[in-house]
Amino acid sequence: MPGTAADIYATAGRMTEDERLAIVARFGLDESLWVQFYTYIGRAFQGDFGQSFTYFPSNVTTKILSALPWSLFLIINAMILQVIIAFVLGATSAWKAGGKFDATTQAISLALWATPMFWLAMLALYLLGNDLGWFPLAGQQTPGVTYATWFNKIGDYYYHAALPIMVLVVNQFGGYQLIMRNTMVTTLREHYITTAEAKGASDTRVKYKHAARNAMLPMVTSVGLRFSLAVAGSIFTEMIFNYNGVGRLIFQSVGMRDYPMLQGCFFILSCSVIIANLLVDILYQYLDPRIRY
């Protein structure tokens, strides 16, 4: 991207040219790209991503670690609900493949999946937050409040996160539902399903115990792969709902050319995606007894 944080500050009339040059020298921006890269890599291995241009003199690592729990709170809760809804709807649609329920569910899933995330977020904020007043319009907790119990504190967190979580679930569950439905349609044609039915197993047992458990493996794989997409989606929701997570931090850092903050955010989020995929691999052996590591 053109420009630097110092250029933005100077353009806003906050500093003279000498002050701008002092900022450039302070952060090592007058060094060659190779020197800057070498310095960054060396410090990154020590967990030091430097100081933020925007939040100076705050440390990048400290700033990210204070915002990361809020983003993970949104993403993890949303993904759990997405998987549960997709599992139930996908299994039911496949069981009644070709029927009205199947056609309706697929149409709704595709429509919501194709709907822009930011439009859903603004619509939910306007209708449920502004017009009806059911949910707060911004923030992740009530400012200045003293919680009587730990449950009141968690309840306040969920109250403020309800709309962002709802938007993430509504927009992204469709992809999982379609994967679950299509995989289970194929699974229901397998011989062991016919054998289970011939033994007199109930429809519920055949559907969930035999078919759905095996059909959900590709969906579980997709959860790990789509974790990065969930992070990207949280950027829109956090900005619209003024939720102070990593997504909002990234958006603000892009506008202010805060490169150390962006590099630190991308590194931490990359690690989160790797950990998510590792957990999915571990979960596999519990879902499918044939898998052993």
Residue 233 lies in a domain: yes
pLDDT beyond 60 at 235: yes
pLDDT beyond 60 at 12: no
What is the rounded CA–CA span in Å between residue 171 and residue 114? Answer: 8
20/135: higher pLDDT? 135
Residue 62 lies in a domain: no
Instruction: Please state the φ and ψ torsions of residue 51, each to the nearest 5 degrees.
Output: -105, 145
Q: Are 179 and 218 in contact (CB under 8 A)?
A: yes
Residue 160 lies in a domain: yes
User: Amino acid identity of 132?
Assistant: L
Q: What is the pLDDT of residue 290?
A: 66
pLDDT beyond 60 at 133: yes
The 3-state DSSP class for residue 218 equals: helix
What's this model's pTM, rounded to 2 decimal places? 0.76
Residue 131 lies in a domain: yes
pLDDT cut 70: percent of the chain above it: 91
Residue 53 lies in a domain: no
pLDDT in tens, 159-171: 888 888 888 888 8
Average pLDDT over residues 100-108: 87
Q: Range of 127's domain?
A: 69-287
State the CATH number of the domain containing residue 127: 1.10.3720.10
42-56, 82-96, 220-234: which has the minimum mean pLDDT? Answer: 220-234
Q: Are 43 and 36 in contact (CB under 8 A)?
A: no
Residue 59 lies in a domain: no
Structurally, the chain folds into a number of domains equal to 1
Q: What is the pLDDT of residue 2?
A: 62
pLDDT beyond 60 at 270: yes
pLDDT in tens, 38-74: 888 888 887 777 777 777 777 888 888 888 888 888 8
DSSP 160-212: HHHHHHHHHHHHHHHHHHHHHHHHHHHHTTSHHHHHHHHTT--HHIIIIIIII
What is the rounded CA–CA span in Å between residue 137 and residue 56? Answer: 29
What is the rounded CA–CA span in Å between residue 116 and residue 96? Answer: 29
Alpha-carbon torsion 79, 84, 87, 90, what sign?
A: negative
Residue 244 lies in a domain: yes
Average pLDDT over residues 89-94: 86
pLDDT beyond 60 at 244: yes
Q: Are 138 and 242 in contact (CB under 8 A)?
A: yes
Residue 31 lies in a domain: no
With a CB cutoff of 8 Å and minimum separation 6, the contacts of 67 are 244, 245, 246, 248, 249
